[in-house]
């Protein structure tokens, strides 16, 4: 089976974008893939070092994974900092990647803002740690939202440069498989990982501004639906969602240049497992005053059971901690096998 890896940061409340863009796909991939799902706590200290309750946030994301339907007995669920090989490989990748590659990352530019000189070195190196998260398991597929596309391209660039720089050594040690990189055939130790970015909700937008993605850090709580919101909050937020005065179009093409309408149709499609065409066929010509209540009912129907399950699982801290510890032990076996190879290839002395 192909190997899937993905992660979510323990920063703030999970929202509908995290769910539709990532977590729901994590669940779906369990049938066909071996999966490793990680709460990436080391990533959460890149933008802000001190958090009020990082252990609680880590457990809460874990509870969300489990409540959504991830099975920790068949797959691996753990927190990143427990498996030290992530940080070790990230250091190696800091020496593989170029500063120019990192400076071009749009997420770094957005999060660092104007005062770039004052951003943490960790924020700049964030994609290097993300590449390590994925490649320490030599994962071949990564389900993510559209905002992570550029980081996945960089992960491939890091893998390709490592494979190329150490091609002869990888061949001599018999640690590689032959793979094409551009015009060349190299002895690849790391796979060129594919992102899985599909479906109608790969970039869920803010409910208050159709040009901004739904985000945990948006100061307005009305901009997002949190996975822990109750039915009243979900209905209120959808009712208040920004829209234009026109009814929904009768053709998909009519959503062009109507970002808020397009976003709500995409959310409805994803939650109902329909195509956007099917949603337009059903609601085309109707006013938002008719569409919004239908969307609110659907969202409550899909999210309320997850919220209830999250509350139930979160109450059992011993269980959640046990899942994370057990997952980390299993993850470490795979990660250490990769690192043994990396140390040998580079020339670092293994025990
Ligand atoms: N709006 C979104 N639509 C679709 N997918 C999204 N993801 C995030 N926002 C959307 C996907 O969720 C996964 C986990 O994200 P994360 O917590 O690791 O990082 P993030 O992208 O920083 O999440 P936020 O909510 O946007 O946080 P802030 O406000 O800090 O920037 C990823 O697969 C991501 O693509």
CA 214 to chain centroid, in Å, comes to: 13
pLDDT in tens, 68-116: 999 999 999 999 999 999 999 999 999 999 999 999 999 999 999 999 9
**Domain 221-313 classified CATH 3.30.420.40?**
no
CB 31 within 8 A of CB 212: no
Q: Is the CB of 18 under 6 A from ligand 1?
A: yes
- Residue 149 among known ligand-binding residues: no
Q: How far is the CA of 145 from the centre of ligand 1 (A)?
A: 7
The residues, any chain, with a CB within 8 Å of residue 81's CB and separated by 6 or more, are: 41, 42, 87
User: What is this model's ipTM?
Assistant: 0.96
How far apart, in whole angstroms, are the C-alpha atoms of residue 34 and residue 337?
A: 17
Closest C-alpha among 326, 303, 328, 323 to residue 313 = 323
- pLDDT (tens digit per residue) in 119-162: 999 999 999 999 999 999 999 999 999 999 999 999 999 999 99
* Nearest CA residue ID for atom 34, ligand 1: 145
DSSP codes joined into one string, 122-190: HHHHHHHHHHHHHHTTT-SEEE--GGGHHHHHHHHHHHHHHHHHTHHHHHHHT--EEEEETTEEEEESS
Q: What's domain 3-196+316-346's architecture?
A: 3-Layer(aba) Sandwich (3.40)
Residue 188's beta-bridge partner residues?
177
pLDDT of the residue at 179: 80
- Residues 140 and 191 sit within 8 Å (Cβ to Cβ): yes
Put simply, whether the predicted model's pTM sits higher than 0.90 gets the answer: yes
> In the prediction, which pLDDT does 64 show?
98
Catalytic residue among 25, 213, 237, 292: 213
Please state the domain extents for the chain: 3-196+316-346, 221-313
11 is annotated as contributing to ligand binding: yes
Buried b / exposed e over 141-171, threshold 16 CB at 10 Å, is bbbbbebbebbbebbbbbbbbbbeebbebbe
For ligand 1, say whether the CB of 85 is within 6 Å of any of its atoms: no
């Amino acid at each position: 089976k192909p190997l899937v890896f993905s992660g979510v940061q323990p920063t703030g409340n999970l929202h509908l974008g995290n769910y539709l863009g990532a977590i729901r796909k994590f669940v779906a991939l369990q049938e066909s893939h071996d999966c490793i799902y990680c709460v990436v706590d080391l990533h959460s200290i890149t933008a802000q070092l001190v958090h009020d309750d990082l252990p609680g946030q880590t457990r809460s994301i874990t509870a969300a994974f489990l409540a959504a339907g991830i099975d920790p007995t068949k797959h691996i669920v753990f927190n990143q900092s427990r498996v030290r090989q992530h940080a070790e490989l990230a250091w190696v990748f800091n020496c593989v990647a170029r500063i120019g590659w990192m400076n071009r990352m749009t997420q770094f530019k957005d999060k660092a803002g104007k005062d770039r000189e004052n951003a943490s070195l960790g924020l700049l190196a964030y994609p290097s740690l993300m590449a390590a998260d994925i490649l320490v398991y030599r994962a071949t597929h990564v389900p993510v939202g559209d905002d992570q596309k550029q980081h996945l391209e960089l992960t491939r660039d890091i893998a390709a440069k490592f494979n190329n720089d150490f091609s002869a050594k990888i061949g001599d040690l018999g640690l590689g498989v032959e793979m094409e990189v551009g015009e060349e055939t190299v002895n690849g130790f790391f796979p060129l990982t594919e992102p899985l970015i599909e479906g109608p909700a790969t970039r869920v937008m803010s409910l208050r501004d159709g040009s901004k993605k739904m985000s945990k850090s948006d100061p307005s709580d009305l901009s997002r639906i949190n996975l822990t919101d109750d039915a009243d909050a979900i209905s209120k937020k959808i009712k208040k969602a920004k829209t234009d005065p026109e009814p929904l179009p009768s053709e998909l093409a009519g959503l062009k240049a109507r970002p808020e309408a397009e976003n709500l149709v995409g959310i409805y499609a994803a939650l109902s497992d329909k195509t956007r065409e099917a949603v337009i066929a059903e609601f085309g010509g109707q006013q938002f005053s008719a569409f919004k209540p239908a969307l609110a009912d659907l969202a409550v129907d899909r999210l309320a059971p997850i919220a209830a399950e999250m509350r139930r699982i979160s109450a059992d801290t011993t269980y959640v901690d046990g899942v994370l510890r057990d997952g980390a032990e299993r993850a470490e076996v795979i990660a250490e096998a990769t690192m043994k190879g990396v140390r040998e290839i580079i020339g670092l002395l293994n025990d």
